[in-house]
């Protein structure tokens, strides 16, 4: 999630998706994921109010060193994503914090349920009909998560009504995405990082 992306860009990897990916890899990942899961579960009784604060306390410090940038991300998440009473909410009428929190919780559960930590691969997919979280993983018949990644897709309509310029579609150096689509009566496969 980040500032709205340019028209025609079908997916993004904003600060939350980027941080979830990085946070779930390397030494200490099990402890980090467990703490984040527990903190999100602790706000479930209040309909996940303050989800952006939990992300700021448990997720962002791992990836976002600049305190000003973290504060900006928290305020953005509150105002446009998670506060249902905000007049600027991207998706009014939807319990976005609950949807988002429960999707992240499922992804964390699957990541923690491997014989080793299974890293996350999170993306924001635009132009769907309503906010949803999709969690994709390979799980064996004993319920153990197997495979290389747990995929978390944040799917939403494209936010409208913003007057600020769009941010970078994909944060980080290694995440890549391509889109195959019709373009001028032909099919073209384009790198998302190179779309206008």
Whether the per-residue pLDDT at 163 is higher than 50: the answer is no
Q: Give the whole-number percent of the chain exceeding pLDDT 90.
A: 72
**Whole-number pLDDT of residue 153:** 97
**Whole-number pLDDT of residue 102:** 98
Whether the per-residue pLDDT at 171 is higher than 90: the answer is no
**Whole-number pLDDT of residue 50:** 97
Whether the per-residue pLDDT at 169 is higher than 70: the answer is no
Whether the per-residue pLDDT at 133 is higher than 80: the answer is yes
pLDDT band at 2 (very low <50, low <70, confident <90, very high): very low
Average model confidence (pLDDT) across the chain: 89
User: What confidence tens digit (pLDDT) does each residue in 33-72 have?
Assistant: 999 999 999 999 999 999 999 999 999 999 998 999 999 9
**Whole-number pLDDT of residue 167:** 58
Q: How many residues does the chain have?
A: 196
> Using an 8 Å Cβ cutoff, are 159 and 142 in contact?
no
Residue with structure tokens 């979280």?
Answer: 133
Whether the per-residue pLDDT at 164 is higher than 60: the answer is no
Give rounded-to-5 percent helix, strand, coil for the chain.
40, 20, 40
Structure-model confidence comparison of residues 190 and 55, the more confident one: 55
CB neighbours (10 Å) of residue 113?
17
Parallel, antiparallel or unpaired: strands 145-155 and 120-125? parallel
Structure-model confidence comparison of residues 6 and 47, the more confident one: 47
**Whole-number pLDDT of residue 95:** 97
In sequence order, what DSSP letters do the residues of 77-102 get, joined into one string? IIIIII-TT-TT-SSTTS-HHHHHHH
Domain ranges of the chain: 11-158+168-194
DSSP state, residue 7 = T
């Amino acid at each position: 999630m980040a500032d709205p992306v340019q028209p025609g860009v079908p997916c993004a990897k904003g600060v939350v998706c980027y941080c979830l990916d990085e946070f779930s890899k390397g030494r200490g990942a099990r402890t980090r994921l467990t703490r984040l899961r527990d903190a999100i579960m602790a706000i479930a009784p209040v309909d996940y109010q303050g989800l952006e604060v939990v992300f700021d306390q448990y997720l962002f410090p791992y990836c976002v060193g600049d305190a000003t940038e973290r504060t900006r991300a928290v305020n953005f998440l509150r105002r446009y994503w998670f506060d249902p009473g905000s007049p600027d909410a991207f998706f009014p009428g939807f319990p976005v914090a609950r949807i988002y929190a429960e999707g992240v919780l499922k992804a964390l559960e699957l990541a923690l349920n491997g014989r080793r930590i299974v890293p996350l691969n999170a993306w924001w997919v635009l132009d769907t009909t309503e906010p949803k979280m999709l969690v994709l993983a390979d799980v064996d018949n004993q319920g153990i998560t197997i495979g290389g990644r747990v995929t978390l897709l944040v799917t939403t309509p494209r936010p409208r009504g913003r007057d600020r310029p769009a941010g970078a579609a994909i944060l980080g150096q290694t995440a890549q995405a391509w889109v195959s689509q019709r373009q001028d009566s032909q099919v073209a496969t384009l790198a998302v990082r190179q779309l206008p």
